[in-house]
């Protein structure tokens, strides 16, 4: 990648409220834009990147045999579903939660006194598995399942099996009124630790010499299970609490396949397996500008030499 392309990217980053943008080739940093040092060290809210981290924890549980089958119904963990008058609720599985296809109506559970009870109390508006519907409630149920299976708070499980192996120790993770760590948006990480999560994906579950999560799980996690938006160049979809992009038009100078974690206001972790590229952004963007880091990254990928 030419210095000219990186210089152009830096000019664009300075023009809006992007605080940091780092790009790695393998484990080597090849581009850095950091507005100030505070961004690097201080944990800042990563919002829905929390979802991706919860999905990694579910994968670690599956690797360890703590979850035998992601297609098992969640009524095994939430017996209150058995009391429901809606038989379709009994069809919801862990897989449906991972892929945002539970079919539960999206509700503002943050204002309720019992988040899990509120989420499970929502009506089914789509047959489970049939329809993608972005729903932080699905993610919070995953965190509740982690706590129920492990017998310890989700963050404690994360510390033991994910954070400590990665050297993450400055996180903040808020809980709901029942003491369940928020699965959808409640985590704060510093920039360095976001990079560690990105490198974990890029290196197929390995960090340094330790296999933290199986490459087989990550292979499943980054698949497109539901298509979300199709453009002339390619298709955006959703995997296991991860967004995906698959290029379909080979005649245009558009980016190749990649996948990413995304939090509101412009937080991103991008992974481009074919190019062995990973990028992380921290931002304070509003409204239409929130997708700017992704658009800038796509533009850069469009001019990247194919390898």
CA dihedral 210, 50, 280, 196 (to 10 degrees): -20
**What pLDDT, in 10s, does the model give residues 103-119?**
999 999 999 999 999 99
Residue 202 has pLDDT above 90, yes or no: yes
The two three-digit tokens of residue 62, written as one number: 């599956």
**Mean pLDDT score, 13-28:** 94
**Cβ proximity of 180 and 116 under 8 Å:** yes
Domains of the chain in start order, with CATH, are 3-36+205-302 (no CATH), 49-173 (3.40.710.10)
pLDDT at 39: 77
Which pLDDT belongs to residue 41? 82
Q: What's the pLDDT score for residue 238?
A: 98
Mean pLDDT of the chain: 94
pLDDT tens digits for range 32-65 = 999 887 778 889 999 999 999 999 999 999 999 9
Question: Is pLDDT above 70 for 93?
Answer: yes
Residue 299 has pLDDT above 90, yes or no: no
How much is the average pLDDT of 5-31? 93
pTM, full prediction: 0.95
User: pLDDT tens-digit profile of 237-284?
Assistant: 999 999 999 988 777 666 689 999 999 999 999 999 999 999 999 999
């Amino acid at each position: 990648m030419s210095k000219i392309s990186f210089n152009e990217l830096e000019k664009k980053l300075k023009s809006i409220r992007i605080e940091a943008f780092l790009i790695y080739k393998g484990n080597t940093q090849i581009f850095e834009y950091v507005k100030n040092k505070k961004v690097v060290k201080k944990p800042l809210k990563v919002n829905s990147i929390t979802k991706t981290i919860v999905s990694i924890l579910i994968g670690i549980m599956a690797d360890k045999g703590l979850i035998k089958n992601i297609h098992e119904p969640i009524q095994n963990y939430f017996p209150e579903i058995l009391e429901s008058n809606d038989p379709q609720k009994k069809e919801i599985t862990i897989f449906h939660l991972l892929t945002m296809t539970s079919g539960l109506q999206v509700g503002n559970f943050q204002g309720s006194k019992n988040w899990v009870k509120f989420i499970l109390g929502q009506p089914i508006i789509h047959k489970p598995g049939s329809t993608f519907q972005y729903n932080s409630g699905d993610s919070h149920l995953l965190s509740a399942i982690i706590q129920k299976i492990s017998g310890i708070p989700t963050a404690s499980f994360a510390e033991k099996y994910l954070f400590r192996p990665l050297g993450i120790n400055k996180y903040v993770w808020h809980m709901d009124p029942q003491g369940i760590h928020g699965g959808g948006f409640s985590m704060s990480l510093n920039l360095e630790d976001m990079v560690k999560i990105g490198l974990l994906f890029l290196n197929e579950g390995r960090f340094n010499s330790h296999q933290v999560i199986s490459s087989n799980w990550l292979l499943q996690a980054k698949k497109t299970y539901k298509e979300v938006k199709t453009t002339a160049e390619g298709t955006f979809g959703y995997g296991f609490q991860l967004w995906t992009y698959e290029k379909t038009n080979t005649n245009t100078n558009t980016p190749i396949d990649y996948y990413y974690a995304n939090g509101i206001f412009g937080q991103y972790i991008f992974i481009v397996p074919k190019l062995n590229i990973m990028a992380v952004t921290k931002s304070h963007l509003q409204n239409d500008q929130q997708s700017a880091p992704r658009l800038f990254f796509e533009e850069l990928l469009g001019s990247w030499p194919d390898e």
